[in-house]
Amino acid sequence: MLIALTLTLVMAHVVGHLFARMRQPAVIGEIAGGLLLGPTVLGQLAPEVRAYLFTDSGAVATVLNSTTQLGVLFLLFLAGAEIRPRPRGREGRTVTVIAVAGLVLPFAVGVGAVRLFDSGSLTGPTGDDVTLALVMGIAVAVTSVPVISRIMIDLGIMHTALARVVLSVAIIEDVVLYVALAVVLGLAQVGSTDEYGLIALVPTDSVPALAAYYISVSLLFFLVFLTLGPRLFRWLADHRANVLERRSPTAFRLIFLLVVVLLCVLLGINSIFGALVAGSSAARGDALRAPDGSAPERVTEQSRAWGTLRQFFMAYFIPLYFAGVGLSLDLVRHFDIVFFVFFTLLACVAKFGSVLTGALLAGESRTESVHLAVALNARGGPGIVLATVTFAAGVISESFYTSLVLLSIITSQVAGTWLDLRFKETAAARERTAMTSG
């Protein structure tokens, strides 16, 4: 067990570092590290070695599965911490127009596209035409906040209007689509013995009734935590009975995450939704506790706590989660290249066209609109999360799972390469102009 964990973690970090050196998202390298150890590479070159290291059952499988489940929770917790109120004024209007166009049109295309494929080869044991259509809609419309953030940080353009608009649109889209994902995962429980929480007490198998429950509860849960969550966190953190916050701010934030996740489970909502709102509530609650002029030591303690959590998660759980994605990919037996190519083209064209149209309608220049359309096509982490949780829930088949992961990887690479080249060209042109004028 320790050999498998150590080898997987080392491969995730080493290959992730190599990809980062090549100016590619490290997350893609972490997946590639797992891919090398999985059935696609090691399973073909040395199947006995892979079978010895990564058994399908037993302690190794249990530990890896538990670690990856925690990894996705911690990933969503950190992603939630990046959620901030959208910009106002002209930027706010631009964000709204692009977000609506970039959500509604691609989602509709994805839902409608389910009729073009053989649903029997794409659905899992708990999936049906309804859940498959919703997953396709989410897959076409989803955008990656973490990958886009990392790309723009590396390029040094986080301060630009383009970065603010892209991240604001991506956050709005991700929140809406995570609500839709909560509905999908809830509907996948209908009629199964795995129902949990309050919904298990409701004596109905009516899909419309259950869909109404998951939509209303997910939206209510999100709105309550969006408005009251930061104040609740501040009240809990500042309460004089909270010895834990004074003893270990890091542990308090981790426990807050676990409690919110437990509340989601009790409501019958998937735990990843709880991790997202917990991260948002905790980060914004800390911002309320540290207004301008507050005690410097408090700000330092909060920053140190978040830094510790981020380092801990990024050092162990999150790399193992993405490496686990690579480990589970089988590009030899479960890869339908015809479906993958067609679905990738459909998803990219639908997303690019809708964002481009929205940006032009919002008054952006053609060049800026193209940059926005390419950047918001990156699916990255959220696309991979969509693939892993729906596959684990039995909603989609292994073939569809493989295609979704590859779609997320390729679109992230394309977005990163495009922005890298374009902004390098822009910087070089400005430098030549400055030298000429000088």
Find out whether 55 and 39 touch, Cβ atoms under 8 Å: no
Listed residue (147, 117, 157, 149) closest to 133, CA to CA:
117
Query: Which pLDDT tens digit goes with each residue over 24-53?
Result: 778 889 989 999 998 889 989 998 988 888
* pLDDT of 293: 46
Q: Where are the domains of the chain?
A: 75-316+333-427
* pLDDT of 222: 83
pLDDT surpassing 80 at residue 203: no
Which of left, alpha, beta for 119 (phi over 0: left; psi -120 to 50: alpha)? alpha
* pLDDT of 287: 86
pLDDT surpassing 80 at residue 398: yes
Find out whether 300 and 9 touch, Cβ atoms under 8 Å: no
> What does the pLDDT average to over 417-435?
63
Query: Which pLDDT tens digit goes with each residue over 58-106?
Result: 777 888 888 888 988 998 898 788 766 556 666 778 888 999 999 999 9
CATH assignment of 75-316+333-427, among 1.20.1530, 3.30.160, 3.30.420, 3.10.20: 1.20.1530
pLDDT surpassing 50 at residue 344: yes
- Model confidence at 339, pLDDT cuts 50, 70, 90, reads very high
Compare 159 and 310 and report the one with higher pLDDT. 310
Query: Which pLDDT tens digit goes with each residue over 260-285?
Result: 999 988 887 778 888 988 998 999 89
Listed residue (365, 411, 318) closest to 106, CA to CA:
411
Find out whether 179 and 264 touch, Cβ atoms under 8 Å: no
pLDDT surpassing 50 at residue 210: yes
Three-state SS sequence of the chain: CHHHHHHHHHHHHHHHHHHHHCCCCHHHHHHHHHHHHCCCCHHHHCHHHHHHHCCCCCHHHHHHHHHHHHHHHHHHHHHHHCCCCCCCHHHHHHHHHHHHHHHHHHHHHHHHHHHHCCHHHCECCCCCHHHHHHHHHHHHHCCCHHHHHHHHHHHCCCCCHHHHHHHHHHHHHHHHHHHHHHHHHHHCCCCCCCCCCHHHHCCCCCHHHHHHHHHHHHHHHHHHHHHHHHHHHHHHHHCCCCHHHHHCHHHHHHHHHHHHHHHHHHHCCCHHHHHHHHHHHHHHHHHHHCCCCCCHHHHHHHHHHHHHHHHHHHHHHHHHHHHHHHHHCCCCCCCCHHHHHHHHHHHHHHHHHHHHHHHHHCCCCHHHHHHHHHHCCCCHHHHHHHHHHHHHCCCECHHHHHHHHHHHHHHHHHHHHHHHHHHHHHHHHHHHHHHHHC
Q: Give the sign of the dihedral formed by CA 28, CA 29, CA 32, CA 33.
A: negative
Query: What are the C-alpha distances in Å from 104 to residues 179, 259, 340?
Result: 14, 33, 23
pLDDT surpassing 60 at residue 430: no
> What does the pLDDT average to over 297-325?
86
Average pLDDT score, the chain: 83
pLDDT surpassing 90 at residue 298: no
